[in-house]
Amino acid sequence: LKRIENNYGNNVIVELPNGKEGGMDNVDSEKGVERLFFGDFNAKVEYFVEPAFYAPTGFRICRDSLDQHYVLEVKKVANYEQVKDQVQTEFPSRNTSMNLPEKQREENVAYNRKIWSKQGEEKLKRYRIETKTVPVSDAFAELVHAKTFATIDTFRTKGKPFVMFDGGWTTFRCVVEGDVWMLAIQVPAGDMKKLSDRYRQMMADVEADRFDEGRYLRLLEDIR
């Protein structure tokens, strides 16, 4: 899914905490956990990974609250497994084995659709989002933005899509002047995969307190 939207949702002008004027950011394309991570505003760059069976993670690059410098915010769902176990116990699904009578199986399938939706709603209410923040330079912020924008701008599909079952999604997003650009894809490939792998490793290094900005400036420059 590739989308370009207005960065602002309307023409209302608001005063920001730093005293500058801004607008009401359009975050309508962000749903679920992504909304929990980034739903307060559109950052310069956002990267979000939602695997099929593992905890979502992501980061964004934005200005600090005093608008003095850029920060890299790495986000995760801290209680993912705990919440998953809770909702599966409280809202159990039903058996849909082919051994069941057809009518019973169809009833159970219909029931499961509703219960899985309920599970999803409850998870979002119970998730606890943790953020780890490190300061970054203007040069780093601009390079990550440039690589993210190029990835979205140059992406083209080739041929028919693959058949995917239970695949996760990777989302790249950035603000470009008055627009917000977004690309969501199930399986990054080629240079997009290289960039995605760098971003994942970058998040892991922040979590482990070993983030080295200079190293990533060099690694990102090597990606077209």
Q: What is the DSSP string of 156-198?
A: ---SSPPP-SS--EEEEEEEETTEEEEEEESS--HHHHHHHHH
- Using CA atoms, how far apart are residues 19 and 181, in angstroms rounded to an integer? 26
φ/ψ region of 82 (left if φ > 0, alpha if ψ in -120 to 50, else beta) reads alpha
Predicted confidence at residue 85, as pLDDT, reads 96
- Using CA atoms, how far apart are residues 205 and 74, in angstroms rounded to an integer? 10
pTM of the complete model: 0.91
| Helices and strands (DSSP H and E) totals, the chain | 6, 9
Predicted confidence at residue 165, as pLDDT, reads 66
The label of the residue with tokens 């993210």 reads: 148
| Type and span of the H or E element at 59 | strand 57-63
Short-list 223, 198, 202, CA closest to 211: 202
Name the CA radius of gyration of the chain, rounded.
20
Give the long-range contacts of residues 84-88, CB within 8 A, separation 24 or more: 84/123, 86/122, 86/126, 87/119, 87/122, 87/123, 87/126, 88/119
- Using CA atoms, how far apart are residues 80 and 91, in angstroms rounded to an integer? 16
Residues in the chain: 224
- Using CA atoms, how far apart are residues 170 and 32, in angstroms rounded to an integer? 14
- Using CA atoms, how far apart are residues 143 and 114, in angstroms rounded to an integer? 44
Predicted confidence at residue 32, as pLDDT, reads 95
Q: Give me the average pLDDT of each 10-residue run along the chain (224 residues).
A: 91 70 84 95 96 94 92 97 96 93 94 95 97 97 97 88 77 96 92 94 97 96 84
